[in-house]
Structures are given as C-alpha cells and as structure tokens.
Structure 1
C-alpha cells in the first residue's frame, strides 16, 4: 500500500496536489483529522485500496501537533509512505486569498490575513520537516502539477532523493532549499547577445562555461561538499535533500551547474533536476 500525505500552508496549492493524486488513481481524502489516519489506512486496506492520498493541515485542529509521531507509526503500516509539504511566501499567499476572496481557516474578526498566515506557519513549523517541501510561490499551476508527478514517480528505495534546483536571486531564494549555493561570481553568458536567449542546457552556453576554469572548479567544490555531507543527511533519516543553485536570473550559470551536479550524483542517489526560471 502507498500512502501520500499532503500538508502545507493554506493557499499553497494543496487542492492542485490532491487533484493530481486523484488523476493518478489514488483514493483521495481531504481535511482528515490526523488522529483518524491509522483507522483510515486499516479500513481502506481491508476494502482493497492500494494507493491513498490524504490532506492533513490546520483545519484538523489541535491534533495536528501529533502528526510526526503518527507518521512514524504509519510507516509500519504501509509499504510506501511519502509526505509532501507545500509552502509559499506570505505576500503570495495574501495575493491568492485576495484573488479568490476565500476566508483563511484561522481567520477571525480580530486578526488580519497576515496574522492568520503567520499563526498557521508557526503551527506547521515541525510538520514542514517531515518530507519533501515545495515552494509554490513562483510556480504556475501546470508546473506544480508536473513537479508533483515527478515526485510520485520517484522509485521507492533506501537511497536518498536529491533534488538540484536552479533559481534566480532576483526572484528570491526558494523556501524549499536545504542547501543554497551562489554562483553569481562566475562569468555571465547573459552579456553575450547570442547566448542571452539560451539556457544553461543549450550547447553554446555549455561550451562558453566549460572554457572558464573557475566554472569547473565551482562545480568540483560544490560536488565535494555535498558528497562529503550526504551520508550525514542519510544517517539523519532524511528521505529528501533539496540543493538550490542560484545565479542572477536563473537561466544560464545556475542551470548549467545544477545539470552538471545532477549528472555526477546519478550513481549515488535518486536524482531530480528542476529549473525555476523557465519550463
């Protein structure tokens, strides 16, 4: 049996995630009190269901604080348990609530929307570390759907899943990053008019960067650091590690470095690559 738990901030895209799970053939349950998770799993197993997706968040009430312990217990009940936590910046969440005109679950007549979001973020702080965290601040709905599908296609196993994610500092640092490396000190292909419209996956940009010794040294140094500390994350029972590589616009240098690192770690971990600044 596979159990996918989905949590996160209100307005971060949990409904999108649930729709993806349902489209993939999962039995979907929204807004289930976390205390009922063991009973739900037992009941659905008896009914013959093999894939379940459940949204658990602050709507479940005070019982949400016991979710970390319940997750450990659930790991002994199912063959494959995955936890997805969706997050977004406060300003993005406020804009989304303003657009939809929906009421925040923790909103009341005595607090602002910003205060309700801050309270929710505080209540979910421990839960955010339970599994894969995705920052949806700058993601279109279709991009989020694709990322979730990639998350679900990860093969179950003992290897840690390492995600290399390129981004542009001018768009902000991703909230889901565990490690952040800044490669803005490297020569920028943006200043070459012929390379400007290309990305770090295009051969002319690759050729440009491979001719610069400092670029190779940067890749080597980041690889050595991550390779050295990856066992510590494995020993800490981490299932996922997100490594963000940032340049100014997130189009050339960070993309190239993320692709290079992903290729080097293919034999050491389950590797994914994402690029935030283009599809």
Structure 2
C-alpha cells in the first residue's frame, strides 16, 4: 500500500456520527491514529519527533478542554507553526438519524446524560457550528453504514494507485477570503449581477431564474466554454499523476448568485461526463446555519 497522502487529519463531528469508525478506518490505512486526545496535548505531540507516518487525531466535545476556538487554533498551528499538511475532517449527521441511533443503542448523550438525547444533540451542534464551517472534508453519514464510511475514507485517504479523482466545485465570496486549498480559482464578478434585480436579489444561483439572468450575459457562454474546456484537459492529467483531490472555486462579490450559478453548471457538466463531483456553496451554507462570516473555509459537501 502506498503511504497516505495527508500528514495530519483532525477528525471530529457530533457524537454518534461515526468518528470512532473513521479513526479505526484511518488506522487500517496506515495512519497513526489517536482518539480523544485532549487538545492541550496536541501541541506537545507535534513538538516531538518528526512524524514517520501520517497522523489522525479524533477530537470529541467530551474532552474537558474542548472548544471550537481551541480546535481551530490547533489546526492553524499545525499548518503554520509545524508546517504540516493538515486537514479537518468533519463527520456530519442529521438530527433525526442521531436520535434514532441513540434510541437503538440506548446510550446517553454525553452533553445530556440525564436528559433527552435530542437536547444534547442540539447543544453539540451549536458548539460545533463554527468547526463545521472550517471543514476541509465533510462527510454526511446519515445514510452510510460503517462499511460505506470505511469505503469513502479509503477512497479519500487510501492513496491507492489508480484511485478515482474526486472533484470539488465550490462557490465563495471574495469578501470572506479565498477558500484554502483550491487548485483553480475563477473570478466571476465581471458577469451581470442578479443582486441589482429586486425580484432576484433574495434568490441564489441554484434557482433557474437566477441562472438564466447570469447566463444571459453575452460573455457567459464563452467564459464557461473556456473554463470547462480547461478543466476537461487538466483533470485527466492530474488523475494520471496520482492526484486524488482537485478543487475548482468560483468567486463573486457575495457568493450567492454568479459564483453559485457557475458552480452548479460546471459540476453538472462534469458529473454527466462521469467524474466524481461534489458541490459546496460556502456562503449559502454559512447563512443557512446562522454562522457569522469569517475568512476562508467551505462547509458542506453535496454529491452530484
């Protein structure tokens, strides 16, 4: 087996979403895996001898020194201070599925041991909201069995020869900063802006009227053809070089109309050609989850 391509993966998410399964799967893939390590101990671990293999750390809200701010600081220090290729893997799950899992196992939720698990689930999601927005990789386990989750992690982190290239197409707002880790970034602010049409302002680029408005710009089709042509030329080359992730980002002023339109259209075109494509709309998902804007990261991944 080839050495996994990430040096450090921080694994977190709500209790019951599959963190334990993920840690075990990464260990099987060759990672040195440690679960429930206190955040205050991670710096000491990284200050030690150089890593001789990739490291996966499971992080849980049950740790006494856990906080969203502290977790994100650990991530930034791993990248900046220790120079590691670090990623945040967030395992998400819908509330109803989490409640069902707790009911089936008759376990108590760590944040509501003497109350209804639903109360703890809500508390935990509130604590993790800002962490979720910073996730480099988000996997929704609501409809995944443990076997499915292991397969997905093997695809993402296994580094096996001939692995399929996973393509992420995402939208973002330039006001909130460039998305970290993007391989290609395209500025769509030259296209006509639906924001100035009162009837379209509250909509977004996933809706057909907004898409039609953006596509009506005389420069749209030429731009899209050039971007899609370049993408089709580069993806096979990167796949053949062994790259397993490739991120294409479209930015506009607010990250709501033009960039979303281009993201949706390119993702659909690539998916129809057989590429494994995911979509993230950074600003739309931040707004949907009530997260105050901060620089950088995307949040949700949606399979196309």
TM-score range for the pair, normalised by the shorter chain length: 0.5 to 0.7
Q: Please, what is the CA RMSD of the aligned residues? A: 4.1
Q: Does residue 73 of structure 2 align to residue 69 of structure 1?
A: yes
> Whole-Å Cα distance in 2 between the matches of residues 258 and 89 of structure 1?
25
Aligned pair count?
194
Secondary structure of the residue aligned to 1:139 is coil
Q: Does residue 118 of structure 2 align to residue 114 of structure 1?
A: yes
Q: Does residue 77 of structure 2 align to residue 58 of structure 1?
A: no
Q: Report the CA distance shift for 1:141/1:182 in structure 2 as closer, same or farther (over 3 A).
A: farther
Q: Report the CA distance shift for 1:41/1:261 in structure 2 as closer, same or farther (over 3 A).
A: same
What aligned pairs does 1:1-279 form with structure 2 within 5 A after superposition?
2-43=7-48, 45-46=49-50, 49-65=52-68, 66-76=70-80, 77-109=82-114, 111-130=115-134, 131-153=136-158, 162-163=167-168, 181=206, 230-232=249-251, 258-260=271-273, 262=275
Q: Give the C-alpha shift of residue 38 in structure 1.
A: 1.2
Unaligned 5+ residue runs, structure 2?
1-5, 161-165, 170-203, 209-220, 232-247, 279-300
> Whole-Å Cα distance in 1 between the matches of residues 131 and 277 of structure 2?
31
Q: Give the C-alpha shift of residue 49 in structure 1.
A: 3.4
Q: Give the C-alpha shift of residue 32 in structure 1.
A: 1.2
TM-score by length of 1: 0.57
TM-score by length of 2: 0.53
Alignment partner, residue 287 of structure 2: none
Q: Give the C-alpha shift of residue 52 in structure 1.
A: 1.0
- Note if contact 1:58-1:64 (Cα within 8 Å) is conserved in structure 2: yes
Secondary structure of the residue aligned to 1:70 is helix
Q: Give the C-alpha shift of residue 54 in structure 1.
A: 0.4
> Whole-Å Cα distance in 2 between the matches of residues 260 and 14 of structure 1?
33
- Note if contact 2:35-2:59 (Cα within 8 Å) is conserved in structure 1: yes
> Whole-Å Cα distance in 1 between the matches of residues 45 and 27 of structure 2?
17
Encode CA deviations 1:186-245: one digit per residue, 9 max, x unaligned.
Answer: xxxxxxxxxxxxxxxxxxxxxxxxxxxxxxx9xx79x88xx9x82439xx9xxxx9x998
> Whole-Å Cα distance in 1 between the matches of residues 43 and 205 of structure 2?
37
